[in-house]
Amino acid sequence: MYRINENYLKLPGSYLFSTIGKKVSAFSAANPDKRIIRLGIGDVTQPLPGAVVEALHRAVDEMADADTFHGYAPDLGYEFLRKAIAENDFQARGCAVEPDEIFVSDGAKSDSANIQEIFAADSKIAVCDPVYPVYVDSNVMAGRTGSYDKESEVWSDVIYMPCTAENGFVPELPEKTPDLIYLCFPNNPTGCTVTKDQLQVWVDYANRVGAVIIFDAAYEAYISQEDVPHSIYECEGARGCAIELRSFSKNAGFTGLRLAYTVVPKDMVCGGVSLHSLWARRHGTKYNGAPYIVQRAGEAVYSEEGKAQIRSMVDRYMKNARYILEGLKSAGYEVYGGVNSPYVWMKTPGQMGSWEFFDYLLERANVVGTPGAGFGPSGEGYFRLTAFGSYENTVEAVERIKEI
Amino acid sequence: MYRINENYLKLPGSYLFSTIGKKVSAFSAANPDKRIIRLGIGDVTQPLPGAVVEALHRAVDEMADADTFHGYAPDLGYEFLRKAIAENDFQARGCAVEPDEIFVSDGAKSDSANIQEIFAADSKIAVCDPVYPVYVDSNVMAGRTGSYDKESEVWSDVIYMPCTAENGFVPELPEKTPDLIYLCFPNNPTGCTVTKDQLQVWVDYANRVGAVIIFDAAYEAYISQEDVPHSIYECEGARGCAIELRSFSKNAGFTGLRLAYTVVPKDMVCGGVSLHSLWARRHGTKYNGAPYIVQRAGEAVYSEEGKAQIRSMVDRYMKNARYILEGLKSAGYEVYGGVNSPYVWMKTPGQMGSWEFFDYLLERANVVGTPGAGFGPSGEGYFRLTAFGSYENTVEAVERIKEI
């Protein structure tokens, strides 16, 4: 008789956003007259930029003609897109990343979940706490995280690196030595980030102890301050120890279009085996490339027109972030993030628990946010609001929160 | 110091089609004057059907307007697509499959590679021999296949089920009991298939021994004979033991657009745990849905217009298949398949090895096919030709093969 992968059974409850969805549906059903404003999930709301829309239409027309039709894409992505990425996202910032070190994919969620596969089954992982749930959950499924303590919500074999107001939401180097270190800056959920000097400390540490940093830079487009690194490859030595994940979701509004990429530098070698070749093999065996039309859409993001349009999209969201940040601050709340990130991270008032505050806010202000506890034990007592709503809704949500 | 997943190192050489690509490039560089005809890889060449193109343009326009913009898709696929699939591919054939048992994805390659994840690490797999390489390779990466013998090209822990001319390319029930059985009918690479009665034997067997059948029906649209099942759910008891994989690649030309789905019936329960819930959890954690515009394209495949257009596409390819089959037969070759499938499987002439014949055909006829040995030990001595070229190229390739 066949058996299942029992690691799945260790996963506590359902994915964070499913739980929130259910709670909101239940409230909505019970209160059909209330207009709920959602500042919870990190989904964008502005339409695709004009340059992207045009590129999509053009590519669809190519697919309608046998002479310009495109079948299977090259395993690692089309050269035109990888070249645009290498030039604009890296070489223009002085980072030595070549087109053939870029692996185009359908999403940073997939990449961040799949990347663990190329490492040993008993690899020790370190994560920031709070953290995007996928990093830990994908390692739970692979059996790397030990046992789960329901009380403390902690996995026995995961190294947690608390990020709280006390350390400015920048983790300290861990005491135990990890094999894989997941870092996300600008951070989801805290909205905070690191300076280049702070990130250099991590790169040096990884090189010293022989760890790999999986650097999630999905929110790179929101960086507004000078000394914040856009890529980990701005740090010296990063090509030897860091894999970087990027996404088109948050800069160009591709959450429903699906496009991302991962950089695996050819310098990363373990016992004579290049990680680049392992990830290439995984792509070649388990993936068939992002759609041609979507890769053309990605290319358009790097056109002059596209760049201006995504800049203005990001600016609109950041106007929301500033409104939330300043509005809540003026109302006496303790708030963080929102400067280099579309996320505002607030301390729940009066020692309220995260989920308690979620219910309170939903009931009293009809505003949906994300309980910090859903991102890990150190998220307890915090709450995430996102800047992805419309300006009008954001303003109204802040006013409602101020009133209660 | 971190370590890698050493299972990857066990994989012999590179993916079949990469090797072919390299050989063809080398030949082409050395012989720039020769016009090569490719009947090798299973990629389509006809453009997207009109109904699909229209649906794509409409959906792109929706994405260009904030009021109709679509962000993150529902984890398991849009209801409109899952409903169209359930009605057309299953309920219309008397198969009891509900929309919420359908998981929309970006490809049958991904699904067939990922499905093993929800089963125990020591599951014993059985595959047809020859077979689509991804079934075995994904299990190699997961450490399930034991050691590889270079001489015989056999994995010690895989149960091989030979499919040769002797058994009409229909495998016999295995002697050792497997946990997971990969079946693909109509078959890639042999182009042969099973009757409903023959498939019922497998369903009964799986239910008797407690195995799961992973049924790959990617070539379902090519079925032309009455007694060939379009879905495994036409067989009694299949809902308790079978997962079915389907693709939009070969029926509607989506190889470059990427859309597929997997059916996991809710009846499949192991030790009180439903496989449906495990696969849903995997989707929710590691995947973010197929693009909205592509799901709308998939929906258009089921419109009256779309159905007629894909029927005529398939007919065009099948005209090629008939031409190859009859042409080679009349020239004295031993050929199989090509009736319910776009693949023709030929015996190499004069005891030639598969790769030897590949080189011979490339050099003498400038025609590219796929060596049977690339699909497994029992593929040695066979060769695959595909019907996905243009009619003109197909005719010329057959004439060239006849001449040598």
Span A225-246, pLDDT tens digits: 999 999 999 999 999 999 999 9
Render pLDDT for B329-369 as a digit per residue (tens, 0 to 9): 999 999 999 999 999 999 999 999 999 999 999 999 999 99
Question: Is B364 assigned to a binding site?
Answer: no
Closest partner residue to B284 (CB to CB) among A15, A120, A294 is A15
Q: Give domain A8-47+307-403's CATH architecture.
A: Alpha-Beta Complex (3.90)
* Annotated binding residue B59: no
What percent of chain B is modeled with pLDDT above 70?
100
What's residue A18's pLDDT? 79
Q: Which of the four CATH numbers 3.90.1150.10, 3.30.2010.10, 2.60.40.60, 3.40.50.720 does domain B14-47+311-403 have?
A: 3.90.1150.10
A106/B50 CB distance under 8 A: no
Chain region(s) in chain A for CATH 3.40.640.10: 53-304
- Which positions in chain B touch A4 (Cβ < 8 Å)? 118-120, 270-271, 273, 275, 278
A247 is in an annotated binding site: yes
Known binding residue A13? Answer is no
Residue A282 labeled ligand binder? no
Q: Is B247 marked within a binding site?
A: yes
SS3 string, chain B, reads CCCECCHHHHCCCCCHHHHHHHHHHHHHHHCCCCCCEECCCCCCCCCCCHHHHHHHHHHHHHHCCCCCCCCCCCCCCCHHHHHHHHHHHHHHHCCCCCHHHEEEECCHHHHHHHHHHHECCCCCEEEEECCCHHHHHHHHHCCCCCCEECCCCEECCEEEEECCHHHCCCCCCCCCCCCEEEEECCCCCCCCCCCHHHHHHHHHHHHHHCCEEEEECCCHHHCCCCCCCCCHHHCCCHHHCEEEEEECHHHHCCCCCCCEEEECCCCCEECCEEHHHHHHHHHHHHCCCCCHHHHHHHHHHCCHHHHHHHHHHHHHHHHHHHHHHHHHHHCCCCEEECCCCCEEEEECHHHCCHHHHHHHHHHHHCEECEEHHHHCHHHCCEEEEECCCCHHHHHHHHHHHHHC
Mean pLDDT calculated for residue range A194-207: 98
Question: Can you tell me the mean pLDDT for A196-224?
Answer: 98
As a whole-number percent, the residues of chain A with pLDDT over 90 amount to: 96
A140-147: long-range contacts, CB 8 A cutoff, minimum separation 24: A140/A7, A140/A10, A140/A11, A141/A5, A141/A7, A141/A8, A141/A11, A141/B117, A141/B282, A141/B285, A142/A7, A142/A116, A142/A117, A143/A7, A143/B121, A144/A116, A145/A10, A147/A10
Cα dihedral value A231, A232, A234, A240, nearest 10: -140
Task: Select the residue of B8, B256, B285 nearest A281 (Cβ to Cβ).
Answer: B8
Q: What is the pLDDT of residue A41?
A: 75
The mean per-residue pLDDT over the stretch A172-193 comes to 98
Contact A291 B66 (CB under 8 A): no
How high is the pLDDT of residue B253?
A: 98
Is A384 annotated as contributing to ligand binding? yes
Q: Are A201 and A396 within 8 A, CB to CB?
A: no
Chain A residue with the nearest C-alpha to that of B72: A256
Range(s) of chain A covered by CATH 3.90.1150.10: 8-47+307-403
- Of A18-32, A245-259, B230-244, where does mean pLDDT reach its minimum? A18-32
The answer to whether the CB atoms of B275 and A4 lie below 8 A apart is yes
Distance from the A153 Cα atom to the nearest Cα atom in chain B, whole angstroms: 18
Could you say which DSSP state residue A256 is in?
T
Verify whether the Cβ–Cβ distance B3 to A284 is below 8 Å: no
Check CB contact under 8 Å for A285 and B134. Answer: yes
Among A66, A70, A288, A68, smallest CA distance to B316 is for A66
Instruction: Closest CB to A4: pick one of B45, B119, B255.
Output: B119
Set of chain A residues whose Cβ sits within 8 Å of the Cβ of B297 = none
Q: Which residues of B touch A9 (CB under 8 A)?
A: 273
Spatial separation of the C-alpha atoms in residues A262 and A242, rounded to whole Å: 11
- At A276-313, the pLDDT tens digits run 999 999 999 999 999 999 999 999 999 999 999 999 99
A14 band by pLDDT with thresholds 50, 70 and 90: low
Distance from CA of B299 to the nearest CA of A (A): 16
> What are the φ/ψ torsions at residue A82 (nearest 5 degrees)?
-65, -35
Do the annotations mark residue B15 as ligand-binding? Answer: yes
Orientation of helix B304-330 relative to helix B50-63, angle to 10°: 140
User: What's the pLDDT tens digit per position in A65-114?
Assistant: 999 999 999 989 999 999 999 999 999 999 999 999 999 999 999 999 99
- The verdict on a CB contact (< 8 Å) between B258 and A120 is no
Query: Between chains, do B284 and A18 touch, taking CB under 8 Å as contact?
Result: yes
Q: Could you say which of B3, B278, B291 has the minimum Cβ distance to residue A257?
A: B291
Tell me the count of A-B CB pairs closer than 8 A: 246
User: Least CA distance to A112: which residue of chain B?
Assistant: B286
β-pair partners for A347: A382
What dihedral do alpha carbons B21, B25, B27, B32 form, nearest 10°? 140
The set of residues, in sequence order, having a beta carbon less than 8 Å from that of A166 and lying 6+ positions away, is: none
Residue of B60, B114, B274 to mutate when probing chain A, most A C-beta within 10 A: B60
pLDDT class of A322 with cuts at 50, 70, 90 = very high
pLDDT beyond 90 at A5: yes
Average pLDDT, integer, range A23-48: 94
Residue-level pLDDT at B14:
66
CB B160 within 8 Å of CB B176 = no
Element (H, E) at A134: helix A133-141
Residue whose tokens read 């013998």:
B149
Q: Is B219 annotated as a binding residue?
A: yes
Ranges of residues in chain B with a pLDDT under 70 are 14-15
How much is the pLDDT for A12? 85
- For residue range A330-365, what is the model confidence (pLDDT) as tens digits? 999 999 999 999 999 999 999 999 999 999 999 999
Nearest to B273 among A9, A106, A390 (CB): A9
Give φ, ψ of B322 to 5 degrees: -60, -40
Contact B4 A53 (CB under 8 A): no
How far is B233 from B237, CA to CA, in rounded Å? 8
Could you give the residue range(s) of every CATH 3.90.1150.10 domain in chain B? 14-47+311-403
Interface test with B, best of A11, A60, A62, A115 (most B CBs within 10 A): A60
Chain A residue at shortest CA distance from B257:
A291
Report the topology of domain B53-304: Aspartate Aminotransferase; domain 2 (3.40.640)
Distance from CA of B288 to the nearest CA of A (A): 7
Measure CB to CB from residue B256 to each of A71, A113, A143 and give the nearest one: A71
